[in-house]
Copies of this chain bind each other. A is one copy, B any other.
Amino acid sequence: MRLLDEANIKDIALGAAVLGSGGGSNPYIGMLVAREAIRRYGPVELVTLDELDDEDLVVPAAGMGAPVVGVEKLPAGDDLLRAFEALGKYIGRRPRATMSIEAGGMNSIRPIYLAARLGIPVVDCDGMGRAFPEIQQTVLTAAGISASPFVMSDERGNVLLMDAVSNKWVETFARSCVIHMGAVGVIALYSATVRQLKAAAIQGTTTLAESIGRTLRTARRNERNPVDALRRAVGGYLVFRGKISDVDRRVREGFAKGNARMDGTGDFAGQALLLEFQNEHLVVRVDGEFAATTPDLIVVLDSETAQPITTEALRYGMRVAVIAIPCASQWREPAALALVHPRYFGYDVDYVPVEDRFG
């Protein structure tokens, strides 16, 4: 167990935005909200699964919707508390702790905010090791853990509780409701015992995010090349350097969908990149050839500061570096891979691990 304070939160938010692969919403807003909660309620305990009892109940908490809307809709926090408590009440057990369901600017931070308010620990693990757009896209689904009972709430006070026959059905119902919430809702889901999570969750994600954030911060302060420092710290590969020449982004069916085009610069001069996303970056093509695909992480960074750029922040003219990072090994098992395969998203291409492409 260790305590997370304001400085830790800042590093976690920054590092989680890298792991978010374009998703997980604005890390800065999440950081502000969590920092306020820690100032008010005190530091938050970060614990490992081994520090809890096997039968303890853990309930992850997150936001859902199209991040492009999240920029304008500031999270209040009461809705998250409401969703979390409604789930505990429905199960009839008090959750011992919370955790992230995905790594991403906001969704790595929301559980810390919740933990601060409730005085419970956050577990150092998550269900993706990155961010993915749909509810069922977790290694927990592949391990047979149910996303139900699932609760979604909004800032008006609506509470929707779903007990669905599959995690994909939760996605279907929740997605159609979140559209009516203005494309932003908060959720509590995938309640599980510590014993289940030990067998299924991706462990150490919060600590990893924090260490990525610290690496970035240090590299910037020491005036070293932050993109390269980050790439080495995460074991990633440089896919491209260039200037964004076009961004097409729409909120459609409860997601932020679209693509960005880049013209190469430096070593990549004369090459063209196409990045496609659905909340998160899904595939990237250089001169028409796939260069990296889901489930590996595709991260767009400011070429100077290595600040991760989420999909809603992509703008014409930005100078960026694109790196690809091997996904957590759990995603490469067949049952998990099927949930997030390029073909699931409509791309007719085999999955080739990024280290086989670049290594």
Residues on A facing B (Cβ under 8 Å): 86, 90, 156-165, 169, 172-173, 176-177, 179-180
Contact = CB atoms under 8 A, between A and B. Distances in A.
A148 to B, nearest CB: 9
A169 B90 CA distance: 21
A162 B164 contact: no
A132 B326 CA distance: 55
Contacts of A161: 90, 160-163
Contact of A158 (B86, B90, B160, B165): B165
Contacts of A165: 156-158
Given A158-B163, A160-B161, A176 B172 contact: no
A285 to B, nearest CB: 33
A173 B158 CA distance: 10
A160 B176 contact: no
A163 B83 CA distance: 11
A266 to B, nearest CB: 48
Q: Which 7 A-B pairs have the closest CB atoms?
A: A161-B161, A176-B176, A159-B163, A158-B164, A157-B165, A173-B177, A172-B180
A237 B169 CA distance: 48
B176 A177 contact: yes
A180 to B, nearest CB: 5
24 contacts: A90-B90, A156-B165, A156-B169, A157-B165, A158-B162, A158-B163, A158-B164, A158-B165, A158-B169, A158-B173, A159-B162, A159-B163, A160-B160, A160-B161, A160-B163, A160-B164, A160-B173, A161-B161, A161-B162, A172-B180, A176-B176, A176-B179, A176-B180, A177-B177
A133 B156 CA distance: 25
Contacts of A160: 160-164, 173
Contacts of A177: 173, 176-177
Contacts of A86: 163
A162 B177 CA distance: 11
A173 B159 CA distance: 10
A163 B162 CA distance: 11
A82 to B, nearest CB: 10
